[in-house]
Amino acid sequence: MNQQGMHFEKLKIASFDFTCCEGCQLQFANRESSLPAFFELLDVRAFREISSEKHDDFDMAFVEGSISRSDEIERLQSIRKQAKILVAFGTCACFGGVNSLKNRIPIEESVVEVYGEHPVETLPVQKISDIVQVDLSIPGCPVAKEEVERIVVSLVTGSKVNLPKYPVCVECKQQLNTCMFDLGEICLGSITRAGCNAVCTSGKTPCLGCRGPAEDINFPAFTELVKERGLSENDLREKLGFYNAFEAYRTDET
């Protein structure tokens, strides 16, 4: 591809999934009107969900899902060896995602609960960066395809790949939404990284923080505000724990 006198190379990508719902990978096939142009930017070397072709010579690996079995660890490590750029793709990959809720209960209990006396192998859920080095994180449950498109275009052209550093409230206010706090709900929008176009609060459901913490958040002021407004601390705990994205900030109290 030549544009403006510069030469751009297609991205040699591969997409892999681990413990997850595959909803993020599915976004590759969404935003149909720009799909043909989108795939023009990619040289898909391996992508089991949509293609039977499989080659090992990719530069960039999109890794979806969290890690919860020993074979997954091995598979991830071999992907890391091959990939020049490894992308943690989606909330499960970036933070562990909803799967991490399992970690609240001892593993054996979970196995017995679901599989009775036929045990299956399973480990506590880990995020991708617990196992291998991650070069780029694209959070979201699911990832926002528009943002994925933008990032892919940036990678192809060599322009800046950036996620917003500010929180969801900015986008929420731009949509003229009524603040969930005014509707009596705890919302994680003010501590969560924007980029989703405030999709949840625009649908009048509180932000559960799938995109993880915004840059340099004021977590103490946030928990203080929940207390001051007399909102349920149980609810706060449930929300902060939902995607495991605020692990680093949680204290025994929250």
Partner 1 sequence: MIYKVISKPEFRKFIDVLVRENTSFGPRQVDTAANGNPVYQFMPVASADEIEFDYTATASSAKHFFLPFRDELSRFSFHDRTFEQHIAYESEPVVLIGLRPCDISALNILDDVLLNGRYPSPYYLAKRKNTFVIGMDHLPLPDCFCKSLAHHTVSTGFNLFCSDIGEKYYLSINSSKAFTYLEEFQTEEPSYEDNCLMTQRRKLISGSFRTEVDVTSLPSILDIEFESPVWDKWGAKCLNCGTCAMVCPTCYCYSVDERFDIDLKGASRNRQLYSCNLVDFAVVAGGHNFRPKNGDRLKYRYYHQHRGFAENANQQICVGCNRCGRACLTGINPKAVINDLRMEKESCMTCVSPSPDRT
Partner 2 sequence: MKLDCSIDIHHLTRVEGHGNIHIRVEQGQLVEAKWAVVETPRFFEVMVKGMSAERVPFLTSRICGICSISHALASIRSLERAMQVTPPPAAEAVRLLAMHGETLQSHALHLFFLAAPDFAGTPSVLPLMQSHPELVKAGLDLKELGNEISTVTTGRCTHPVSLVVGGLSKAPDKDRLKFLLDMIGERKSALGLACDFFASLAIPQFERETEFISLHNGVSYPFIGGDLRSTDGVLRDENDYLLMTNEYLAEPSTSKFTRCSRESSAAGALARFNNNSAFLHPEARKAAEHLGLRPVCHNPFMCNIAQLVECVHILNDAETLIAKLIDMDLREIRTQFTPKAGCATGAVEAPRGILYHYMETDNEGRVVKADCIIPTTQNNANIHYDLGALARQALEEGKNDREIEKLATMLVRSYDPCISCSVH
Partner 3 sequence: MHDMRFTIPRQDLNREAFASSVPDFNLKSDLMKTDMGYKCRITNIVSLTEQEKLFRLRIVDPEERRIFRFKPGQFIMLELPGFGDVPISISSSNSNHEYIELCIRKAGHVTSALFRIEPGMHLAIRGPFGSSFPVDEMAGHHVLLIAGGLGIAPLRAPLFWINEHRDRFRDVHLLYGAKEPSQLLFSYQFDEWKTISHIRLHTIVEHADAEWKGNTGMITELFGDISIDTKNTYAIVCGPPVMFKFVCSYLDRLGIPMNRMFVSLERRMHCGMGKCCRCMVGSTFTCIDGPVFDYWSVMNLKEAI
CA distances from 214 to 2, 68, 94, 240 (A): 36, 27, 14, 14
Choice from 24, 128, 134, 138 touching partner 2 (CB under 8 A): 24
Classify residue 247 by its DSSP letter: T
Told to check if 39 binds partner 2 by CB under 8 A, we report yes
Which pair of tokens denotes residue 39? 């795939």
Question: Which range in 120-128, 138-146, 175-183, 236-244 contacts ligand SF4 by CB under 6 A?
Answer: 175-183
Specify the amino acid at residue 39: F
Told to check if 26 binds partner 2 by CB under 8 A, we report yes
Residues ≥6 apart with Cβ < 8 Å to 105: none
CA 114 to chain centroid: 26
Residue 186 touches which member of ligand SF4, partner 1, partner 2, none, C-beta under 5-8 Å by kind: none
Question: Which range in 9-17, 91-99, 128-136, 157-165 contacts partner 3 by CB under 8 A?
Answer: 157-165
Told to check if 207 binds ligand SF4 by CB under 6 A, we report yes
CB 63 within 8 A of CB 89: yes
Told to check if 214 binds partner 1 by CB under 8 A, we report yes
The residue to which tokens 């799967």 are assigned: 99
Told to check if 118 binds partner 2 by CB under 8 A, we report yes
Q: How far is the CB of 34 from partner 3 (least distance, A)?
A: 17
Q: What angle separates helix 233-241 from helix 219-228, to the nearest 10 degrees? A: 140
Told to check if 107 binds partner 1 by CB under 8 A, we report no
DSSP H or E stretch at residue 87: strand 85-89
Residues that bind partner 2 (CB under 8 A): 17-27, 29-30, 32-33, 35-36, 39, 44, 47-54, 68-69, 72, 97-99, 101-102, 104-105, 109-110, 113-116, 118, 120, 122, 141-142, 199-200, 202-205, 208, 235, 238-239, 242
